[in-house]
């Protein structure tokens, strides 16, 4: 069975400072890893993904994430936080499945609060 852990319910950071939102995972075989963002009363929006290749992946709105296979982690990062980055962030994992059948598992979410 696959699982995702987001150890922090909330992350607070000052505007302009770097931010990190943590994610660790457990899955059989090679993982597909994702980050999604949710603004209040909205659906989830895709931010970035790791499939294969370079361990550092870049996504929307200046976010990036680093895949670390030995630590089974996929932390979300941004060099300089904006107040508008304040939202709920979800990490998700699904096993690589040929034929395109994906059943992703989501973490519980981390609320990012960026203070002016």
DSSP string over 15-67: TTS-EEE--EEE-SSSEEEEEEEE-TTS-EEEEEEE-SS-SEEE-GGG-EEEE
Query: How far apart are alpha carbons 105 and 2 in whole angstroms?
Result: 7
56: nearest Cα among 80, 39, 73: 73
> Per CB under 8 A, does 58 bind other proteins?
no
> Per CB under 8 A, does 94 bind other proteins?
yes
> Per CB under 8 A, does 107 bind other proteins?
yes
Which lies closer to other proteins via its Cβ, residue 25 or residue 90?
90
Q: Of the listed pieces 17-25, 32-40, 60-68, 74-82, which binds other proteins according to CB under 8 A? A: 32-40
Min dist. Cβ of residue 24 to other proteins (A): 14
Strands 64-68 and 56-58: antiparallel
Q: Which of 25, 34, 67, 74 binds other proteins (CB under 8 A)?
A: 34
Query: How far apart are alpha carbons 22 and 59 in whole angstroms?
Result: 16
Task: Count interface residues toward other proteins (CB under 8 A).
Answer: 24
> In the complex, which residues of this chain contact other proteins (CB under 8 A)?
9, 32, 34, 36, 41-46, 49, 51, 90, 94, 99-104, 106-109
């Amino acid at each position: 069975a696959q699982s995702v852990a987001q150890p922090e319910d909330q992350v607070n950071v000052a505007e302009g400072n770097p931010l990190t939102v943590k994610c660790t995972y457990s899955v059989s075989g090679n993982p597909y890893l994702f980050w999604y963002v949710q603004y209040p009363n909205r659906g989830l929006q895709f931010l970035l993904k790791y499939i294969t290749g370079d361990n550092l992946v870049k996504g929307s709105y200046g976010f990036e994430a680093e895949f670390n296979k030995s630590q089974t982690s996929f932390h979300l990062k941004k060099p300089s936080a904006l107040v508008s980055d304040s939202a709920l962030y979800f990490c998700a994992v699904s096993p690589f499945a040929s034929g395109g059948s994906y059943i992703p598992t989501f973490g519980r979410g981390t609320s990012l609060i960026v203070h002016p």
